[in-house]
Every structure is written in C-alpha cells, then in structure tokens.
Structure 1
Amino acid sequence: MMSVVMKAAARAAAVALCLTALSPATAMSEDTFDPGLLIGKDASTYAKFQMPVFDKLGEVKITTPPDDTPPVMRVRWTAPKSDYIQINPKSAIPGVFVIKFAEGSHVRLGDMGLYINRSGFESTASEAERLKRTGLDVAAAEAQVETINAILADAGKTWGFELTPLFKSVFGDSDVPGQGPNAQFVEKSALEQRTMEELADLDLYFIVSAKTFHDIKAEAALLNKLNGFEVIEQVYPGVYAEGAQAMPTANVSNQQWYLDAAPTGVNARPLWSMPGGQGQGVTAVDVEFDWVTDHEDLPPGLSGRPACAYDYGGSEHGTAVLGVMAAVHNGLGVDGMAPQANYRLESTCRPFDYIGAGIAALFTGERVSGRAHNMVVAKAIALAGSPLRAGDVVLIEQHTYGPDESAPPVDNCNASQFSFVAMEYYPDSFDIIRRLTARGIVVVEAAGNGTQNMDTAVFRGRFNPALRHSGAILVGASAPNINTPASGAFNAIPGNYGAACFTNTSARVDVHAWGGGVATTGYGTDLMFNPPRTARDPFNGRSIGGTIPRYYSASFGGTSSAAAIIAGAAVQLQGLKRAQTGGLSLSPVGMREALRASGTAPAGGAAIGVQPNLTAGAALISGRVGGFEGPGVYVIRSLANGKVLDVDVSWFRGQDDGQRLVQWSQHDGLNQRFRISAAGTDGAGRPLFTLQPLHSRKVLDVEGASGADLARIIQFRFTGGANQLFRIEASPDPRFNVIATFNGMLLSTTGRDDGFDIVQHPAGAGLSQMFVLTRVE
C-alpha cells in the first residue's frame, strides 16, 4: 500500500506536471500546446503577458471582517392537509391518485410492498430530523407503513389498484434493501448543499392506479383513510391537464407584432444580429402533448414526438408553440425568436407509462382531445430536464384543474378552462420543477387560463413565494389591441396592454406576454391574415402523411402563447450570455432578474408581472460579461479549462472547515458563487479581499497558512489571518490573477476535469493562473 508521504509526493509531481504543461513557454509551442485550453482564443495573445512581480507583504490593515454567520438551510414548506378530500367528477380521472410520503421517512417499494429503508435512513442524519416534524420516530413510521400496505393490498383485491413509483423511469430503481441511498437521493443531497434549501426526496412519490375503475365515492373514501396517516404528506387524485391555449407560402413575419419594440412587444428582433441572439448554444425542451414535426417552417430533425395519433387540438398546440420559438428564418411563414437553438420535445402523451403486474394502465379519459393527467406531466418534466445542463431551458405548456370547483361566471371569456392553474399547484410537478431549477435549469411555466386569483385562501399558500418557490418563471397573459380585417386595417395598435380576461393572476407571476393575436405555425385558423384566407384553402390545408405541414394561425393565444414568447426570450438571452462569457450561463434567478428588470407593468396593474424588453435585458447582462468591479458576488472561471471555482460539498453538507476548493462544471450552486469583500490594504496600499462561498459563509484559506508550493486552497472559518486575504489583479482585464497575499503565490488550476484541486503556485503557469470574474449580484 502506498504511504501517505508517497501519495503526497506523487500528487505533487502530478500537479507540477499539469502546471508545467500550461506554462507560458508551453503555450508558445504549437507542437505541445492544446489550443482547446484557450476556449477558442489565440495562444500567442497570452504568451505576451508579463506575470506580476511581488514584494513583501508589509503591514496588513483589516478594516471589515466578513459576515461569517453560518447560513441556515431553508426548510421545505408543505401545504396543510385537507380535513376532507373531495373528488370533483368534472376534473378527476377515476382510479388514479398520488401518495407522497413524508420527508425523512425513506419509504421505498420492494417485493413485499412498501417499507422504510433503514440503511438509507440511518446513513443520512437529516432524515431523522425531518421525520420528527411529523411527530413520528422511525418505529412509529414503520408501523403506519405496515397498515398502509394492508389498506392498499385490500384495495388491490377489491378494485385492482396497483402501486408504482412515479419517477422510477427517470432516476432508475429506488434504494436496494439493506443498502444506502440511490443516485436520486445523492443528487438531492448535493443540490441541497448548493442551494441551502431542503428539496423533496422524489422516491417518496407513488402512483396508485386501477385500469378499470369508476367509483369516485369509493376512491374518495380510500383517499381520506390514507390521508389520516402522519407518514403520508399528501394524497390527491389525478386530474386532467392540457395545453393552456385560448381558442409557396407568404411571408407573414411582419404580422408578428409581439416581437416589436416595447411596450407593444418584447423587442426581440434586435438581438438576432448579436452573437448568440438567435439561441446558439442553448438547448430548449418543450413539454407538450404533440407537434407536427414536419411542418415546412420548423427546423428539421426534431425528435421526441410520441406514438400517439395526430390530434388537432394537442398536435397543433405544440406546433404553434414551436413556431413562436423555433420557426426557421427562411423567407416564408413566420420567424422564430431563437431559431438557432437546439430543440427537444418531451410529450405528455404516454398512456403506457405506469405498469404494475404486467398490466398497462390506460386511464379512463386520459387522452381526450390532447389531454394527459397531472402525474404524467410531472414525469415528462423530469424527463425533459434529465439530459440538460445548467442554463438550458424547459418550457411547460400544460395547465390543470385547480381547487376552485365553483361554476364559471356567466360572463367568463374562457369557461371551458375556468379554474385551470399552473402545473406546480400539484406537489409532484412543484418538486420536480424545483429539482431542475436547483440544478441551474431555467424553467418557464404557463400560469394557466383559469381566471383565478392564485393568492386567495382556496390555494392555501401554494403560490405564496414567502412559503415556497419552485424557481420557475411563471407567465401570465396580456390582451393585445389588434385591428381586424373587418375594420379596414390589420395591425397592432402600439401601446401598453392590460391583462387578458382569462389569465390567472398572483404576486408569484413574474412576467407576461401576448395572450392572443400571435402569428405562428399550426391550426390553419388564419382568418386574420392580411389578406384573409380560409382555413382550408390550397395554401393552408394540404395534408401529408396524416399531418398538416402548412397550417398557420394569426390567433394563437392564452398563457400558452405568452409562455412560448417568454421561453423564446429566455433562450435568446441565454445565447447572448454564453456567447459573451465563453460559456457561463444566467442562473434561473439571474434570468428572472434580466426579464423583469427591463420590463413594463401591464395597463391596469393586474398581478401578471411585467412584459420584458429584450434589448434592455441584453444591455443588462452585457454589463456583467467579465471583469472585477469591486466587492460583490462573482462566478470565477478558469481560462485553462472553462471550469469554475467550486467548494467540494460531498461531505458534512459542505459546512466543515477544510473542505477543498476545486474546479467543476458550472451548475450555478451557491458553492460556486463567492462574495468578494474588501478587507483592508497591504503595506503597499493595495486592496485586499476575502472570498466567501455563499453556501457556507466561511472564507477561502491557504491550508495551514503554508508557504509551500502546491498547498491546497480550502474553506475555513474567518480568523483574520493573512492566509485568508487575497489580491485580485488584472492580467490584463478582464483576465485576472487571484494572489495569496501573504506569500505572493497565485491560485492555480491543476488539471482539466471536474474535481481537481485549486492550489497556490509561483507565477509563471500561464492560463492555469488566469480567471474571468463574472459578477452575478
């Protein structure tokens, strides 16, 4: 076995080799230097730079110690249980419901039914703490789970109910009995350390279903019996979900007034001439029922269309959404906001998802005119986000029945969708959306067309951002003022529009966009085009292979059109950000800020957020391209490999002294954001700084106050020692060295891959000692 000393020597030698390989001398050699390290830059540019010369430290004057109060992890809020669960026959799908077990219970499904995995429970200290909030210890929870097993077994014998993990096909198998947590739980734990917020254990969600079942009264009785167990956090019926719509080709892009300058539109066109402004380098996924993927104005190679048959309502809805975002700039039809992005499709048409005992559960009414059920939507969201990286975009175009069971008012403008709300009303969708945003994925979600004030008591706080926040950008709809052909003109009257009559409202709604009059692909209901055409003429009604590849509409609407516009805007801004910074992304919070900070409030003041002005938003993020602007919160990216500085949070919740500073792919976690604070000056009057990772509020520290080459950089509680003070100097701007003040060595990367240490090393190691600092707060 290699001794500790031998390991240390081997490690030092390996690091030295990495540093030598990135030295300026090596960079000047075309035979040995890897241009990929420069992220597309010319190596000769960097060979000219002179490394700084360091003098003695002199007297250090610390003026302001950092706030090192340990952060407290935000407790996950859960909606209060209903005293009595009623099932609305209008919205519910008979024979389908969800059980979500309490956090900390570690309930899993094995061959003999539900059980608590003691190994997984005991391997994570926080599980017992969270379970205690239910008033149960693990023994009491196990007793309740046994009773629940008996109830479900009886329901299975009587009505054929079967139990299936909701997210199994997304994250793989649950825990193995007698072993520790699975990959889903490990990911959850890591994301909690990045965000300092408790996240849901998604293995606690289960679908209970019966293939043929119609007795709503019996189902309600079963749900209420289960609802009485403390170990069950929520139990609720499945409900319908659907697209949030309001009900040689000519070039009609001049009728896409929603792209016009603010406040009429979102001012999208000027971004097309900017690097990244057509969505280059960004992947976006549309969560929909279906699409016409061979439409003449959509990009080729779209994948993800389901095996379900073409459905006019569901298939044309997805086609219209894609047209807003992705329509090719080809001189015909319409122009998409971000046509150069990479698009993926994730369908909610998946009737054979939940299989128990070899029987496929094709639920009654599951697929009626483009409908799915809420649990399938949650799973589609999970699948949509699975392959994405931080900064990519997921658009959720479904909405579903909410808690308001009253009849729509007689003057309601959208009675067929009255009471529909955003998908995150339901815990399964909320928790998977929060998982995606914790990973840094930007989620855009339609607020819904249900004419609901989601801040009222019937919603029981589910849209109160002070209680919980999914991290998604929630989108309301405005009502544009458009002259119709009958009035002798066809154009949008410029101005600031008010809320659409059908849109949901809430303080939680972030932004809005056009909820009607949107020209796009799909439907064939283009009677508003100028000149008007019928919906089924040769231009607009040719059917090929069972699809409708030449349909267009000028009247797409609802929060569906609004969400599509905002998703297109997000893809454009993310493309700009990545192009300007060499790959850094706006986080979900940063994207919301960029969209909101530049926007215009609606006429009338309804709670639907602002309509973004993308040109102003582009200017906002362009001011944060790179460079050190003084104290603030920064992401610090290495020029050697494009990775960002990251505190290892793989143990002790990332809160311990001594945890390493490493390099890692960007995910926008708090352990990759550093508060740089002024800490006085050195003897030469040069400013000194502390670097404080936001997840722990400790500070970066040269381990052991070592003066040795290759000493690691760690996090440690603030002591005021000189080994916790750094200078940040241009080399040249916006490329910077981070200098350990007490010995003049530079922070240096040591390799290419995730997890390599950041160490101190004398000047002269080239790109491995150069960083771009991007201010994010």
Structure 2
Amino acid sequence: MKASFLTNRVTRTLMMGLCLLAVPSAQASGVKVLDPRLSTVKPTSPELEPETPVQRLVVKFHEGTRVRLRSGLLQMLSTERNPAERMRMARRGLSELKVQVELLAALRLLAQAPRMGPPTRLFRQDEYTLAERKRLAEERSGKEMADLDLYFEVPLRPGTIAADVNDLVMKLNALDSVEIAYAEAATEPARFDISSADRMSTTTATYEGRQGYLNAAPSGIDARYAWTVSGGTGTGVKIVDIEGAWNNSHEDLPAFFHTGGIQFNDSSWRNHGTAVMGVMVGQANDFGVTGIAHGAQVGHEGIAGQSIASAINRAALAAGKGGVVLIQLQAKGPRIGRDCTCNTSQCEEVPLEYWRANFDAIAQATASGVHVVEAAGNGSVNLDSPVYRGAFDRSVRDSGAIMVAAGTAGTRAPLCWTNHGSRVDLHAWGENVVTLGYGDLSGTWSGEDRWYTDSFSGTSSAAPIVVGAVANLQGVANASGKGPLEPRALRELLRATGTPQESNTKQIGPLPNLRDAIPQLLAP
C-alpha cells in the first residue's frame, strides 16, 4: 500500500514535467561557499560481530536529496529543495529519478527488518528547529553541517542481534542515494565496576578531603585554586549530562534546570548518573562531596525514549553557547581482532562519535559554541586502528569534542582497559573517585538519597572531572568579560597546560591543570 502510494507519487511527479534543474555555480547562484563535509566512508563488510545486541537501524540519505517524513511516509520533496541542496545533490551525481527509485528500494529493505514499527525521524526536534540550528552553525563556523532531517531510524525488536540485520545493512549501503546505514549497538555507561564492602556510618560525613582529584598538580586538576578566581566554580555555565537515569532527590545535588528525555527505571543507571553529577556539581556545604564546578547549573537528558544523536542535539540546545554537554556512554564497535586482558565485559566498546549520526550532532553542537566532552570508553582498544576507517583520525574528521581517557589516580598512567590513541585529548582519574551514589562509602542502609562511594571508576569517572575543568574555565571567561570560548580553543588550552601523562605507548593525553590554564586564559 505504502509502496504503491510512493510509486504513484513518482509517476505523477514525472508526468507533471519535473526534471533536473541546471545547477549554477556557487558564485552565480549566490549560495554561500562553505567548507564541505567530509565524505562518509561506507563499510565494505559487516562492522559488528554477529552476536552484538542492536537496538535500531539508522539510515541517512545524501545531502540535497530532501528526503522527509511527511504524513507518516518517507518522501522526496523536490519542490522544497533550495539552490544549496541542488548543488550538494549534483555533487553526488544523483538524479531525481535515481533517488526516488532507491528510496522505494530502501523502504522495501527496511520492511524486512525485525522492527518494532515503521521508519521515524532519528532527531526528535521539529524540522524548523533543526534547519535553523544548522543555518546558525554554518554561519558561525563557515563549515557545511549535516542536514539532520535526512536521518531516519527503525527501532528493532528486543533481542535483535547484528546477525539478524548485517546483510540488510550492507544492501542499504549499496544504494548510491544512501550516505550511510548501520545498526546501532546497545549502549551502556562507561564505568568499570570496582566492588568494595559497605562501611557503616551513622551520619553523612564530609568527604571533600578524600576527593584527591580536586588537589593541585601533578596528582589533581587543582580545582581548589580555580575556586579562588572569579567565576572559577563554573558560575553562569550550564552543563547537561546524557545517559540513562539520575537520583534527582539526592541530598547533595542542586535543583536541575533541565530534565529532558525519559529515564530508565534501573538502579545501576541511576547510581551511575548520580555519581557523575556529584563529581561535577555536588553542593558546597558541610557534608558529602564538593563538585568541581559546584557553581554551575546542571541538567540531564535521558536516552530511554530517543536515539543518542537526538539526545545530543537536545542537550546542546539546552546547554546553549558556552555550555557543556557530557556524553557518558559507549557501545560495541567493530571487531579489532584482539582479546582484552582486563574488563572483558566491555572489550572493544568505543566512543559514540564513531557512528555518523552522533558525530554530526556533536559537530553541529561544537560549531554552535557548545563544549562537548565525550568518554573515550573502556574497550581496551587503540582508536588509531585501521579497523575504524579514520573515524578517530583528526586529520580525517574532527567533531570538536574533548575525548577523555582514564588514568591511574594521582600517577597519570593509562589504566589497563582505557581506550587510547591520537584522538584522545585528555585523561583524568579512572579509579578511586569519591562522589555520590552506590552506597559503598556511606553504607547502603542509609537510604539512596544519602549514598556515597569512593570507587567510581572508568572513563565515566574521568570525563566528568574534565567537564568540571571546562565549566570552571568557561566561568572564569564569563566573569572576566571574555564570554563564550570557542570549543576547539578551550580544548587546546587544556591540552597545552595539562600535566603530562606518565610515559607510555598508550596516548591518553595530559591531566587538566587549572592553575596553569587560568592565567593563560586571562592573559591579554
């Protein structure tokens, strides 16, 4: 029925005399010349191991094709195509007829998937909002941004594994009109579990003295120094965390300015999100912990009811220019061909910008002036491996995000399971982090609203430490009248002023050092 509708639509369109428009030069048409997006490299064989759990199929059509979801159907809207889109479509050598035929082919393929429903838009914001944010990001950066309305998803039935859809994904990628298609692996927090016994306590103690990551270099980031500088607690900065759940009523957390998305009703997700919040914004009081950027505003964006890419886009809009978005997730990547010697349950899990929709959402956020911090993951892999086809090669593509690995507490050596490589910008403590949640420090008997831990770990503990440093520096910039900092410039400042990692073949980058970074930031 739907296929017939689209076939008839094609016929009617052709009979009405619609034909390819001549594509003028950029100069003649008045189209602003932007640095083009880098081409997407399609896989030549299935990327995911057959047994990998997958949760959705993602398909993006090429720039300029103007494929849209209208009235519940995927359609190519030729009459809405603007001159820039015509140029981008012509750049791919795509004709109207070819796109229409391949759109029908893609719909037939997607109908074969073990799906929960029909194709839907991957990004949940309305079309006008997406188009306006794209325009502003291009105007600000001079770089061509992805049309996020060309991304579509098909949610898969629970229990679906890569083996069920690998062949389908390869057939979708064989269509010239499709820029990329992939199965999105299930995500999980980037935490490495370290167990410890409950230690009984009758009242909530103050644990700030045990937060070694607050200390001066070389062991810590010297957050205590930043707090002595105007704006150095993250004043006026908005932070949005992306993951599964949080305990909004924890005694040591501030009120949230943004609570987007849907949360999982799951204690492990809730403990994880709460621990992350404590590192960043635990309140400055006489009990519990003190967050690195406790003067910042904080919010969260749940992923239970939307794609990661959509969550990134929504979080960036909430954080705004000069705000910070934290991506605290990882997922199974391509098989790299080695056995992990530690943390085997998360072996070969990689940062989420590996997948193109997430990358495009991050790139638009940073081009719009939003700082994005991303956990590098605990997959024990070298991100420079050729199996990733340049996804983590900064000379090939750069989202503008700050990618964070995990080092030993105080000694700055790569932990056994941390991902590493030239794309990694910074590291922070990946073990022994004192924060909220879990209850192993305070005693689980005390009630979830009073739970604290001294063993938060993984790139999940490292990334929020870096978020705190970013927010503090942006707060100092705001207080000094410099205003929002360019995300790439702030990333380079942190790299240039950080305490070097221990000498090692695994590159995890320096540890932030706010005492050195702030004077350089304030220099004329």
Name the TM-score, length of structure 2 as normaliser: 0.87
Match for residue 445 of structure 2 among 534, 537, 541: 541
Q: Does 1:323 align with 2:238?
A: no
Q: Encode CA deviations 1:547-596: one digit per residue, 9 max, x unaligned.
A: x0111111111111110000011111111110011x61211022112211
- The aligned residue for residue 84 of structure 1 is 45
Matches within 5 A, 1:586-735: 586-605=485-504, 606-624=506-524
Structure 2: runs of 5 or more not aligned: 1-31, 194-202
- The aligned residue for residue 79 of structure 2 is 119
Match for residue 139 of structure 1 among 80, 97, 102: 97
- The aligned residue for residue 412 of structure 2 is 497
Find the residue that maps to 2:138 and give its secondary structure: helix
- The aligned residue for residue 506 of structure 1 is 421
The CA deviation at 1:89 is 4.3
Q: Is the 2:51–2:163 Cα contact (8 Å) retained in structure 1? A: no
Q: Is the 1:162–1:210 Cα contact (8 Å) retained in structure 2? A: no
- The aligned residue for residue 449 of structure 1 is 378
Match for residue 100 of structure 1 among 57, 60, 64: 60
Matches within 5 A, 1:267-286: 267-286=222-241
Find the residue that maps to 1:299 and give its secondary structure: coil
AA aligned opposite 2:310: K
Matches within 5 A, 1:522-541: 522-526=437-441, 536=443, 540-541=444-445
AA aligned opposite 1:388: A
CA distance in 2 between partners of 1:580 and 1:208 (Å)? 48
Q: Is the 2:263–2:303 Cα contact (8 Å) retained in structure 1? A: no
Q: Encode CA deviations 1:128-158: one digit per residue, 9 max, x unaligned.
A: 3322343322332223223323444x538x9
Q: Encode CA deviations 1:384-428: one digit per residue, 9 max, x unaligned.
A: 11233211111111111111264633xx22111111111101111
- The aligned residue for residue 188 of structure 1 is 134
AA aligned opposite 2:412: Y
Q: Encode CA deviations 1:247-266: one digit per residue, 9 max, x unaligned.
A: 13121211111111111111
- The aligned residue for residue 198 of structure 1 is 144
Instruction: Check 1:273–1:87 CA distance in 2 against 1; reply closer, same or farther (3 A cut).
Output: closer
Q: Is the 1:399–1:423 Cα contact (8 Å) retained in structure 2? A: yes
The CA deviation at 1:92 is 2.7
CA distance in 2 between partners of 1:506 and 1:518 (Å)? 24
Match for residue 398 of structure 2 among 460, 465, 469: 469
CA distance in 1 between partners of 2:395 and 2:520 (Å)? 27
Q: Is the 2:438–2:452 Cα contact (8 Å) retained in structure 1? A: yes
Instruction: Check 1:109–1:349 CA distance in 2 against 1; reply closer, same or farther (3 A cut).
Output: closer
CA distance in 2 between partners of 1:392 and 1:159 (Å)? 37
Q: Is the 1:92–1:237 Cα contact (8 Å) retained in structure 2? A: no
- Larger mean CA deviation between 83-92 and 303-312 belongs to 303-312
Q: Is the 1:113–1:149 Cα contact (8 Å) retained in structure 2? A: no
Count how many residue pairs are aligned between Structure 1 and Structure 2: 483
Q: Does 1:408 align with 2:364?
A: no
CA distance in 1 between partners of 2:358 and 2:115 (Å)? 27
CA distance in 2 between partners of 1:297 and 1:190 (Å)? 38
Instruction: Check 1:596–1:159 CA distance in 2 against 1; reply closer, same or farther (3 A cut).
Output: closer
The CA deviation at 1:87 is 4.7
Which structure has the larger Rg over C-alpha atoms?
1
CA distance in 1 between partners of 2:280 and 2:52 (Å)? 31
Match for residue 437 of structure 1 among 366, 391, 400: 366
CA distance in 2 between partners of 1:309 and 1:216 (Å)? 23
Higher helix share: 2
Instruction: Check 1:294–1:305 CA distance in 2 against 1; reply closer, same or farther (3 A cut).
Output: farther
Find the residue that maps to 2:274 and give its secondary structure: helix
Q: Is the 2:407–2:428 Cα contact (8 Å) retained in structure 1? A: yes
Instruction: Check 1:127–1:291 CA distance in 2 against 1; reply closer, same or farther (3 A cut).
Output: same
Q: Encode CA deviations 1:750-769: one digit per residue, 9 max, x unaligned.
A: xxxxxxxxxxxxxxxxxxxx
- The aligned residue for residue 521 of structure 1 is 436
The CA deviation at 1:194 is 2.3
CA distance in 2 between partners of 1:287 and 1:105 (Å)? 31
Instruction: Check 1:211–1:251 CA distance in 2 against 1; reply closer, same or farther (3 A cut).
Output: same
Matches within 5 A, 1:267-416: 267-301=222-256, 304=259, 308=263, 310-350=265-305, 353=306, 376-404=307-335, 406=337, 408-409=339-340, 412-416=341-345
Q: Is the 2:239–2:324 Cα contact (8 Å) retained in structure 1? A: yes
- The aligned residue for residue 250 of structure 1 is 205
Q: Is the 2:278–2:291 Cα contact (8 Å) retained in structure 1? A: yes
Q: Is the 1:541–1:550 Cα contact (8 Å) retained in structure 2? A: no
Instruction: Check 1:380–1:264 CA distance in 2 against 1; reply closer, same or farther (3 A cut).
Output: same
Q: Is the 1:102–1:204 Cα contact (8 Å) retained in structure 2? A: yes
Match for residue 564 of structure 1 among 464, 489, 501: 464
Instruction: Check 1:129–1:292 CA distance in 2 against 1; reply closer, same or farther (3 A cut).
Output: same
Q: Is the 1:128–1:137 Cα contact (8 Å) retained in structure 2? A: no
Q: Is the 1:524–1:553 Cα contact (8 Å) retained in structure 2? A: yes
Match for residue 266 of structure 1 among 221, 239, 242: 221
AA aligned opposite 1:224: M
Q: Encode CA deviations 1:64-109: one digit per residue, 9 max, x unaligned.
A: xxxxxxx973321233212233553443326x21111111211112
Over the matched positions of the two proteins, sequence identity in percent amounts to: 36
- The aligned residue for residue 110 of structure 1 is 70
Q: Is the 2:48–2:333 Cα contact (8 Å) retained in structure 1? A: no
Instruction: Check 1:112–1:510 CA distance in 2 against 1; reply closer, same or farther (3 A cut).
Output: closer
- The aligned residue for residue 25 of structure 2 is none
Q: Does 1:479 align with 2:408?
A: yes
Find the residue that maps to 1:224 and give its secondary structure: helix
Q: Is the 2:115–2:157 Cα contact (8 Å) retained in structure 1? A: no
Instruction: Check 1:208–1:301 CA distance in 2 against 1; reply closer, same or farther (3 A cut).
Output: closer
Find the residue that maps to 2:149 and give its secondary structure: helix
Q: Is the 1:390–1:587 Cα contact (8 Å) retained in structure 2? A: no
Q: Does 1:149 align with 2:107?
A: yes
Find the residue that maps to 1:346 and give its secondary structure: strand
- The aligned residue for residue 170 of structure 2 is 224
- The aligned residue for residue 450 of structure 2 is 550
Match for residue 479 of structure 2 among 579, 587, 604: 579
Structure 1: runs of 5 or more not aligned: 1-70, 175-181, 354-375, 482-495, 527-534, 625-777
Q: Encode CA deviations 1:263-297: one digit per residue, 9 max, x unaligned.
A: 11111101112211111111111112111121122
CA distance in 2 between partners of 1:477 and 1:233 (Å)? 34
Find the residue that maps to 1:155 and give its secondary structure: coil
CA distance in 2 between partners of 1:253 and 1:259 (Å)? 9
Q: Encode CA deviations 1:214-258: one digit per residue, 9 max, x unaligned.
A: 485553332222221000011111211111111131212111111
CA distance in 2 between partners of 1:165 and 1:617 (Å)? 42
